[in-house]
Amino acid sequence: MRTAVILLALMFITGLAWAGMPGEKLFNRKCAMCHIVRGRGGAIGPDLTKVALRLSETQLKARISYPKKVNPDTSMPSFATLENGEMHGLIDYLKTLR
């Protein structure tokens, strides 16, 4: 009985850890070459370590999907083709950067 409770708790905790990861992974694959977070990454775009203090969720989405709407000359590519789930994961991760 006790083992079952411990097992369930473990499954819950690892589930949470997994749920927190895809956005950060995606960021490291697609964004980190241009953006620094906590001292790691490329310096082509702005440092995003505290981006959630500057930008709302709506602004984040707009900048990721249509960077040229904010700055027509930007070198940041559009990520409007990300799947909904990927975009949500990414935004969830970016919202932790504060």
Contacts of 87 (CB under 8 A, 6+ apart): 61, 64, 65, 79
How many residues of this chain bind ligand HEC (CB under 6 A)? Answer: 23
CB of 59 to ligand HEC, least distance (A): 8
Q: Name the segment binding ligand HEC (CB under 6 A); options: 2-10, 12-20, 74-82.
A: 74-82
Among 28, 30, 36, 52, binds ligand HEC (CB under 6 A): 30
Nearer to ligand HEC, 55 or 88 (CB): 55
| Contact assessment for residue 68 and residue 34, using Cβ atoms and an 8 Å cutoff | no
Residue range at the interface with ligand HEC (CB under 6 A); choices 2-10, 14-22, 56-64: 56-64
Verify binding: residue 93, ligand HEC, rule CB under 6 A: no
- Among residues 15, 20, 46, 85, which is the contact residue for ligand HEC, using CB under 6 A? 46
Residues 6+ apart with CB under 8 A from 33: 41, 42, 44
Non-local CB neighbours of 23 within 8 Å, separated by 6+ positions? 88, 89, 90, 91, 92, 93, 94
